[in-house]
Amino acid sequence: MTATLEDLSFDNRFTADLPADPEVGGGSRQVNEAAYSRVSPAPVASPRLIAHSPEVAEMLGISRDVVESEQFLEVFSGNTTISAMDPHAACYGGHQFGNWAGQLGDGRAITLGEVTDSAGTRLTLQLKGAGPTPYSRGADGLAVLRSSVREFLCSEAMHHLGVPTTRALSLITTGDQVMRDMFYDGNPGLEPGAVVCRVAPSFIRFGNFEIFRSRDDIATLRRLADHTILTHFPELGEPSPEVYTAWVAEVARRTASMIVEWQRVGFVHGVMNTDNMSIHGLTIDYGPYGWLEDYDPGWTPNTTDRQFKRYRYGAQPHIGQWNITQLANAIHPLVGEVDPLQDAIEQYVATFNQQWPLMMAAKLGIRAFDDSRDAALIERLLELLPAVETDMTLFFRGLADVAVGDESGQMSDDELLAPLLDAYYEPDQLNGDIRSATLDWLRDYSTRIATEGSAANERRSAMNSVNPRFVLRNYLAQLAIDDAEKGDPGLVIELLDVLRKPYDQQPGHERFAEKRPDWARSRPGCSMLSCSS
Ligand code: AMP
Ligand code: MG
């Protein structure tokens, strides 16, 4: 454990291996033939630590005393840096909503440096909301408390759910006010500013490769690919056309696995642009994301995507493939052939198609998945869930308590349905054909599960280990934000704690497992979000 932050061991490979923009700091501009620009975080008025993740601090070897120190507050608010850091903003491009957007880059993120431990684990520290960079494109480079609470809580919640994600070390308010037009309706207002320190092996995105490909800058593209493989995928071997292809295939597999996990827990990213896709297959850039409350594959939380719903829950698997195709296109000049890259993209499809049914089977408590009969059972359920407003999280949690086999055979319809009733937003909607179809499904389900011969408690604990009881429901995040904006971080800290054990029953914390209350149905922040953050 470190006595001060100076004791952290930095090994800044990204800046050491790759070409730098010759200009340091400065205003918005196009940056050519460089992977990053050196830039310092902007000082803030009066930083205050709102919350931190003890697990992430521990991973970094940062002791409790250091977390509580003045130095921690100064460094992770952006007021100061330590000499072994090499603060910079990365240059990247991206496809936004399906269209090439040109240079984007870290417009409000500043990477401080890469911490390594004795085991060789590499953790990059990045401040989000630490002031303008050459990639800010005229915007302020800042973040508001509202969006910072959302990023901080959700990335930690996702980790504890077992979903690959970037992590968050700290959430600090800056004491500065930030102007935002939250609803994009011409009524901007001041909001408290905040900085999150996020942590990941690297923050390299698909878009970091796309920008060089788009400029035909193959030399820098190759340097970035070589750096990425040698630093983060050394098991693939020395870079060569075959290794570049193997790397795309590996990113494809990781991305597919990540999206299977999103589907499992009902997470909707909201902005799956290629600049928001991590080459590690980690969930990154928590913006207008949301959690499915009622199961609706057509839902997206992002108001900017209201018209076409490109990034709706049900489209995420396909979009992952589209994004991998963009990465493969970017790498093409290094490979020279199309077919091997096509095979690499196929790895996405193969991985998804292999893992998704197993994931769904696990949610249903099926251990020995048998495609020939279970695929239809899964499909029928996914048609029933959106037919009446059904809370996804409560439904799967309740399903573990549904009786199976002989026990269910003697039950009345009402008794069989009882464990699921809480999941229905409007229980009266469950009538007529839908009610009979649901009961038919439940009886078939019960028969199917009985063939597995597992004891009820074994089945329940297996199902409860993949079907969370606690997710960061959209309205819960908003309640925590409301309090934090009034100066009370209590709910942020309490939620962080509850979401640390999302699969446990946690008696006494029922209120965090309840379905969305009626008032939250249409309240901004609870159902729909803009990108304004
Ligand atoms: P996002 O939608 O958050 O992934 O952001 C897309 C692009 O806009 C990235 O290049 C961001 O760095 C940039 N960006 C978003 N908000 C700001 C801001 N307040 N100041 C500067 N750049 C921003
Ligand atoms: Mg982004």
| String of DSSP letters for 90-138 | E--EEEETTEEEEE---SSEEEEEEEE-TT--EEEEEEESB---TTSTT
> Which pLDDT tens digit goes with each residue over 408-426?
889 999 999 999 999 999 9
Query: Does any ligand 1 atom lie closer than 6 A to the CB of residue 105?
Result: yes
String of DSSP letters for 318-385? HHHHHHHHHHHHHHHHHH--SHHHHHHHHHHHHHHHHHHHHHHHHHHT-SS--HHHHHHHHHHHHHHG
Q: What is the three-class DSSP state of 89?
A: strand
Residue 118 has pLDDT above 90, yes or no: no
Q: Encoding tokens for residue 27?
A: 């205003």
pLDDT of residue 3: 85
**Amino acid identity, residue 335?**
V
Atom of ligand 1 nearest to the CA of 275: 4
Q: Give the ligand with the smallest distance to the CA of 105.
A: 1
Q: Ligand 1 mean position to 28 CA, how many Å? A: 12
Average pLDDT of the segment spanning 415-443 = 96
Q: For residue 473, give the DSSP letter.
A: -
* CA 105 / ligand 2 centre spacing (Å): 8
Report the alpha-carbon distance of residue 81 to residue 50 in Å, rounded. Answer: 20
CB of 124 sitting under 6 A from ligand 1: no
What is the C-alpha to C-alpha distance for residues 268 and 211, in angstroms, rounded to an integer? 26
Measured CA to CA, the distance from residue 7 to residue 329 in angstroms comes to: 42
Taking each helix axis from N to C end, the angle separating 218-232 and 206-214, rounded to the nearest 10 degrees, works out to 160
User: What is the per-residue pLDDT for 132?
Assistant: 98
Lowest mean pLDDT among 241-250, 357-366, 407-416, 492-501: 407-416
Average pLDDT of the segment spanning 363-378: 96
pLDDT band for position 185 (cuts 50, 70, 90):
confident
Instruction: Tell whether the model's pLDDT for residue 437 goes beyond 90.
Output: yes
pLDDT at 528: 80
Measured CA angle at 196 (ends 496, 75), to 5 deg = 120
Ligand 1 center to residue 131 CA distance, Å?
11
pLDDT of residue 182: 84
What is the spatial distance between Cα 357 and Cα 458, in angstroms, rounded to a whole number? Answer: 21
Q: Whose CA is nearest to atom 23 of ligand 1?
A: 107
Q: What b-and-e string marks burial along 50-70, b requiring 16 or more CB atoms within 10 Å of the CB?
A: bbbbeebbebbbbbeebbebe
Which tens digits make up the pLDDT trace of 249-305? 999 999 999 999 999 999 999 999 999 999 999 999 999 999 999 999 999 999 999
DSSP secondary structure code for residue 215 in this structure: T
Confidence of residue 532 (pLDDT cuts 50, 70, 90): confident
Is the Cβ atom of 139 under 6 angstroms away from ligand 1? yes
Indicate whether residue 126 lines ligand 1 (CB < 6 A).
no
Nearest CA to ligand 1 atom 19: 141
Task: State the DSSP H helix or E strand holding residue 49, giving kind and residue range, or none if neither.
Answer: strand 48-52
In angstroms, what is the span from residue 452 Cα to ligand 1's centroid? 50
Please report, for the chain, how many H helices and E strands are present, in that order: 18, 11
Average pLDDT over the chain reads 96
Mean pLDDT score, 37-66: 97
Tell me if 142 CB under 6 Å of ligand 1: yes
What's the confidence (pLDDT) of residue 522? Answer: 83
Proportion of the chain above pLDDT 90, given as a percent:
93
Whose CA is closest to 167, among 283, 81, 49? 283
Q: Residues in the chain, how many?
A: 533
Radius of gyration of the chain (CA): 24
Compare 410 and 346 and report the one with higher pLDDT.
Answer: 346
pLDDT score at 526:
85
pLDDT of residue 426: 95
Is a pLDDT exceeding 80 seen at residue 527? no
140-152 pLDDT, tens per residue?
A: 999 999 999 999 9
DSSP per-residue letters across 451-466: TTT--HHHHHHHHHTT
Kindly tell me if the per-residue pLDDT of 314 is higher than 90.
Answer: yes
The whole-number pLDDT of residue 457 equals 94
Cα(172)–Cα(155) distance, rounded to whole angstroms?
16
Residue to probe by mutation, ligand 1, list 37, 136, 283, 530, most atoms within 8 Å of CB: 136
For position 33, what pLDDT does the model report? 98
Please report, rounded to a whole number, the percentage of residues in the chain having pLDDT higher than 70: 100
Query: How far away, in angstroms, is 336 Cα from ligand 1 center?
Result: 33
Identity (one letter) of the amino acid at 58? Answer: E
Is there an atom of ligand 1 within 6 Å of 141 CB?
yes
> Alpha-carbon distance 329 to 350, whole Å?
19
Compute the distance between CA of residue 90 and CA of residue 278 in angstroms, rounded to an integer: 13
